[in-house]
Structure 1
Amino acid sequence: MVPSARTRTILTLYTTADDVQCHRVRLVLAAKGVGYERVLVDPAKPPEDLFDLNPYGNTPTLVDRDLTLYDASVVCEYLDERYPHPPLMPIDPLSRARLRVAAVRIERDWLPEVEHIRAGGRPADAARKRLREHLLAALPLFRASKFFLNPEMSLLDCLVAPVIWRLPWLGVELGRDGKPAIDYGERLFHSQGYARSLTPEEKAMR
């Protein structure tokens, strides 16, 4: 059980221990201060009740009473609307659209490289190089504002920060040039909400 200082509403989140997308949802819940039951799933042996809730049997899967949601983007958007304080998306449609497009790019460009690295073998070295290149190309976005593409913490940060957190574990070195990305991560990592989002396995990554 994950305690909450703000609300006693109990959701159930099916999550793996170290997946970026699962961490993304846990970070949104922590930022909102929402209590929930954390059900850890072994991706090699998903429980039968998960398939009863989600036809794909994957994580993250969120259960809120009679509602079941899957796909991290859907879950995060729902949580931001269901628990509107603090808001994790800007008010104006243009800014919201910019953040959503950036999230799509990260999911398509960064996260596959994370998975290739985790899989190991010879392809992992090439994936490390590509991920490093993606991150260095994004440095102007890390420099532009206190948070990623936004002056306040947003749902996009809940996707970006877990990737930055994993870089030492993934063996990705950004060097001096990557300092803006590292500094960005450190600003988020020292918050109480970020600490609450971590599993023991994720804490051991640093």
Structure 2
Amino acid sequence: MNMSSPARKPIMTLYSGYDCTYSHASRIVLFEKDVDCKIEYVDSSEISEVLADLNPYNETPTLIDRELVLYSSTLINEYLDERLPHPPLMPVDPVSRARARLMVRRIYRDWTRLLPTCIGKDVKKATEARMAIRDGLTALSPVFAVQAYLLGEDFSLVDCYMAALLWRLPSCGVEMPPQAKSVSEYAHRLFSRRAFQQSLSEIERGLRQKKSA
């Protein structure tokens, strides 16, 4: 997939999984930045062959910017925000930036890493994982009752990670309760953004289509 116009050569290449939560967050950042970037989707069975000389961990996402090769979604996304400062997706002051990084860590550690367990064969562990995600996100309801996005009224890098997570909840069997209405409204705001819609792979679009079918 080429994000650039036919007359312009992409300045970056992102190797992305078709349905990789971490890759998805990076794609959202790229489209929010409206950067000329070539997105190369890599099937899980092809990762070793394609990325063997680029990434010692053979994982997506992997970003190439001229001579620089980066892997790890958090490193890639912060690099993109510094490399392409408009629009800014991270706070300016050190304290707020630290809080944003802490929230990103919480998203990954408390919720995103549980998604594979939600669809695993161990029913007990799957149920526990779904409950942990549901309850953790429900606890954020008061935040979205008073502000549009996770860090305030402006869309940020943290919301990119949340968007990738929230989009996958129905396909993982996570249903938000009525008392989490403000979280659902927040998710709708994220999904309505043009950059988010552009970031979706065909497989990711299918996650919601299958649920509604």
Q: TM-score, normalised by structure 1?
A: 0.93
Change (3 A) 1:147 1:35: same
Q: Which amino acid aligns with 1:2?
A: N
Q: Which amino acid aligns with 2:181?
A: K
SS of alignment partner, residue 88 of structure 2: coil
Task: Look up the match of 1:41.
Answer: 42
Q: Which runs of 5+ in 2 are unaligned?
A: 209-213
RMSD across aligned C-alpha pairs, in angstroms? 1.6
Q: Which amino acid aligns with 2:131?
A: K
Measured in 2, the distance between the counterparts of 1:118 and 1:76 equals 27
The structural deviation recorded for 1:8 is 5.1
Change (3 A) 1:67 1:174: same
The structural deviation recorded for 1:2 is 3.0
Residue deviations 1:69-96 (CA, integer Å, cap 9, x gap): 0010000000001111000011121211
Alignment of 1:96-175 (within 5 A): 96-122=97-123, 123-175=125-177
Measured in 1, the distance between the counterparts of 2:130 and 2:145 equals 22
Task: Look up the match of 1:198.
Answer: 200
The structural deviation recorded for 1:119 is 3.0
Measured in 1, the distance between the counterparts of 2:45 and 2:122 equals 19
Measured in 1, the distance between the counterparts of 2:26 and 2:192 equals 18
Q: Percent identity?
A: 42
Q: TM-score, normalised by structure 2?
A: 0.90
The structural deviation recorded for 1:131 is 1.0
The structural deviation recorded for 1:9 is 3.7
C-alpha contact (below 8 Å) 2:63/2:70 kept by paired residues = yes
Measured in 2, the distance between the counterparts of 1:112 and 1:138 equals 18
Q: Which runs of 5+ in 1 are unaligned?
A: none
Task: Look up the match of 2:3.
Answer: 3
Residue deviations 1:93-118 (CA, integer Å, cap 9, x gap): 12111111111111111112112113
Q: Which amino acid aligns with 1:205?
A: L
The structural deviation recorded for 1:35 is 2.2
Task: Look up the match of 1:14.
Answer: 15
The structural deviation recorded for 1:164 is 1.1
C-alpha contact (below 8 Å) 1:17/1:41 kept by paired residues = yes
The structural deviation recorded for 1:56 is 0.4
